[in-house]
Amino acid sequence: MCLRYNNFSLLLFIINFHNYIGVITIKSTPMKEIPIGELIARCKSILEEGHYSRQRICRYEALWKKGILKYMSDQGLTLYSPEIGKACLTSYLCGHPNDHKEQELVRSVNVLDDCLLLGRIRMRSYTPVVHKLDGLIGEYMQPLIDYLRSIRRSEITIRDYQLYLGGFSRFLNEAGVHTPEEISQSLIVSFLNGIDEAKTSIVSAIRVLFRFWFENNVTKEDKSEYMASFKYMRKERIPSFYEKGEVMAIEKSVDQTSGVGKRDYAMLLLATRLGLRASDIAWLKVDDIDWRNNVIRLVQYKTGQPIELPLLADVGNAIIRYLKGGRPQTTSRQVFLASRAPYSVLGRQGVGSAINRLISNAGINLKNRRHGPHSMRHSLATAMLKNGTTMPVISESLGHMSTKTTMTYLKIDINSLMGCALPVPPVDESFYNQKGGAFHG
C-alpha cells in the first residue's frame, strides 16, 4: 500500500519542503586581526545561530578562558590573529594528539580562526588517506585503475584496488623492482607473508593486475598463474536474519517521542521494509523521494546502479514525522542528519550504529546473530523467500546486479532446501552380515 495524502496542509508542507529547510547565515567580513573579545562574541553568535547546544557553547567559553585568553593576557596581547592562535597551541600542547583535552583546545582555536577568516564555522573534518602507486612500477599499475574506471566499476572497488596495489607497489620499490618482468614468485610469497589482513582480497587484486598486464602485452608471461597456489579457505557464512515477529518487535520498541527517535525509526523502516543498505539510507536525499508518485528513486552507493522502490505508507509517514518534528533546519539535501550541531550528514557508520542500538535494546535473542542494517536486509529477503517470491523479483527489490548475488539467501530457505533432499533407500540386512558380520566387529 502506497502513501496517500488527504490533509491539505501536509501536502502543502511537502510541496514547499525546499523552502522549509532554510538556514540562517551571519554576514561578516573576514578579517585577519581583531580584538579577542569581539571575536569571541562573534563566535558565540554564530554558534547560537547554528543551533549548537548551550552546554557546548559554555564548553567553548571555558576553553577560550583557560587557553587563548590566558595566553594573550600573559603576553600582553589584545588583538587576535591566526599566528597568535598557533603560538598559543605551541605553548600549551604537550604533543599528545590522542589526548581529548588537547584535541578540544585545538578545536577551540580552529573555531576562532574559522570565524575570523571565513565568517563561519566549519564542521569537523578529516583528511582522507591517499594510496599512491609509487615509483616506476606504480606507473605500470595505473593503467589498470584507469581501465576499471573506464568500465564504470564503483569508486569503492577502485579505492580497494588502489589500497591493495599501493601496498604492493611500495613493497616492490623497496625490493628494487621497477618493471613487471622483474616480479618473481618468491617476491610475491615474501610480500604476502608480511600481510595479516585481507589476504584474499589482495591476492585477487594482484591476480587481476597480472592478467591485465599479460592481456595488454606488458608482460610476455601470464604471471597470474603464480597465484594459483594462493588459495584461502573461507568459512561458509550464513546470513543473520530475524523472523517477522522479531522484526515487528524491534520496530515497536523504538521510542519516537524525541527527534532522534523519529529519525532512527524512519531509518529502521527503510532497512526492514525496503531492504536499503546503510550507505543508501545515509545518502538518501530529499530529492530522491517522489511524494506525488509514492516512489523512492536513488542511485545505489555501492553499485552505482539506479533503483526505484515503492514509498510504503508506514515508511513515508515515519519520514514525514522526522522532517516535521525532528530534523534540524539546514541547507543539506540529505534526509538524515546528526542530532547535534553543526548537523552534518549522519554517514554509513552513524546509520549502522543507530540501527544496531535499536536492535540491541529491543529485548530479543541476539545470540550468534549480527544485528545491524544488513541483518534487516537479510530478514526482508528471507521473508520474501518464505512467501514464494521468485529470485529475479527479490534480486530487483534488493538492487542486486545479478541473481547470483541473491542466491546466497537460499542458504537460509530451510523449507525449500528440505524439499531438495533425496530419500535414502533402505539397506538390506545381508549387507551388514556379509563376511561374518565384519561391520559389527
pTM above 0.85, yes or no: no
Active site residue: 277, 321, 371, 378, which one?
A: 277
Q: Give 3-30 pLDDT, tens digit per residue.
A: 444 444 444 444 344 443 443 333 444 4
Which of 78, 77, 72, 111 lies closest to 92 in space, CA to CA?
Answer: 72
Mean pLDDT, range 399-419, rounded to an integer: 59
Active site residue 178: no
- Per the residue annotation, which of 52, 265, 301, 409 is the catalytic one? 409
Q: Known catalytic residue: 440? A: no
Mean pLDDT value across residues 133-153: 91
Using pLDDT thresholds of 50, 70 and 90, give the confidence band for residue 412.
Answer: low
* Fold annotation for 244-412: hpI Integrase; Chain A (1.10.443)
Which listed residue (223, 321, 377, 378) is catalytic? 377
374: annotated active-site residue: yes
3-state helix, strand, coil in the chain (%, to 5): 60, 5, 35
Q: Is the pLDDT of residue 39 over 60?
A: yes
Told to judge if 100 belongs to the known catalytic residues of this protein, a careful annotator would answer: no
Better-scored residue on pLDDT, 205 or 124:
205
Catalytic residue among 302, 324, 370, 386: 302
Give residue for cell 575570523. 116
pLDDT for 210 equals 94
pLDDT at 5: 40
Residues 6 or more apart whose CB falls under 8 angstroms from that of 171 comprise: 191, 194
User: Rg of the Cα trace of the chain?
Assistant: 29
Helix (H, G, I), strand (E, B) or coil at 170: helix
First-to-last C-alpha distance (Å) of the chain: 67
Candidate list 263, 273, 374, 378, residue with the active-site label: 374
Q: Identify the CATH assignment for 135-229 out of 3.30.1360.10, 3.40.50.2020, 1.10.150.130, 1.10.150.120.
A: 1.10.150.130
Three-state DSSP class for residue 306: strand
305 in helix, strand or coil?
A: coil
18 catalytic residue (yes or no): no
302 as an active site residue: the answer is yes
pLDDT in tens, 316-372: 999 999 999 888 887 788 999 888 777 778 888 889 889 999 999 988 888 878 777
Q: Where are the domains of the chain?
A: 34-118, 135-229, 244-412
Kindly tell me if the per-residue pLDDT of 270 is higher than 80: yes
Q: Rounded CA gap, 170 and 423, in Å?
A: 57
Give, in order, the Cα–Cα distances in Å from 216 to each of 120, 220, 222, 273, 302: 52, 10, 11, 47, 29
